Amino acid sequence: EELSLSKSDAGGFKEAQASITGDDVFKCLKFESGVHRVQRIPINDTKIQTSAVSVIVMPEADEIDVILRPQDLKIDVFRASGAGGQSVNRTESAVRITHIPTGCSVSMQDERSQIQNRARAMKYLRARVYDRERRKMQESRSSLRAAAQGTGDRSDKIRTYNFPQDRVTDHRVSGTITGVERVLSGEMLANFIDGLMKQEYVDKLNAFWSDMANK
């Protein structure tokens, strides 16, 4: 489900948010968090250009996981705007919700009613707050054991898509697959995910034995 989409002046996209459901979806797609590097030759050029996009995958938190107290929320309403800042709605249907304790903020204006935008904003804000707390816990645990591996921080360049050579390289498992389009379509993505899941299992096992040895 598309949550929001922001296009750039050049015809591409500045930011996109989506909700994905399915069996074990976070278990598999969490490995996509990070910087994805793209190497391509533009139509109007002959040299390879490199660009990058940051991807972050968060589990959708249930209300049991994160409690958003009304007194901790700042809710602003405003008129939804279109391209160039022009108002596309005479009523204040757009909503911005800020979680004061963490500073996390989400804006929604895609729906026609304020109630719908508020519900979607709360849904996504809850996931952001949950992810923030999850990362804090991971960082705390990682500082206690030097053997811990990266947690998928967006500063890591995790994968390179080389269009001229039609190959994709995942730098975490040193694996390369031929067929950029087949990876992007998801057809061959499982090849990387299987390797990453095995690596995660090995890392956790090594961390466990390291913790046991230090006790």
- Look at strands 104-108 and 13-18 and give their pairing: unpaired
3-class DSSP state for residue 105?
strand
Q: What is the pLDDT of residue 162?
A: 95
* Order of strands across the sheet that contains 49-55: 49-55, 34-40, 157-162, 167-170, 175-178
Count of CB atoms situated within 10 Å of the CB of 72: 13
DSSP string, 153-197: -TTSEEEEEETTTTEEEETTTTEEEE-HHHHHTTTTHHHHHHHHH
User: For residue 38, what is the enclosing H or E element?
Assistant: strand 34-40
Residues with pLDDT less than 50, the chain: 83-87, 144-154
DSSP 91: S
Of 55, 62, 66, 63, nearest in space to 130 by CA? 66
Longest distance between any two alpha carbons in the chain, whole Å: 65
Using one digit for the tens of pLDDT, what is the confidence trace for 177-194? 999 999 999 999 999 999
Tokens of 157: 């360049």
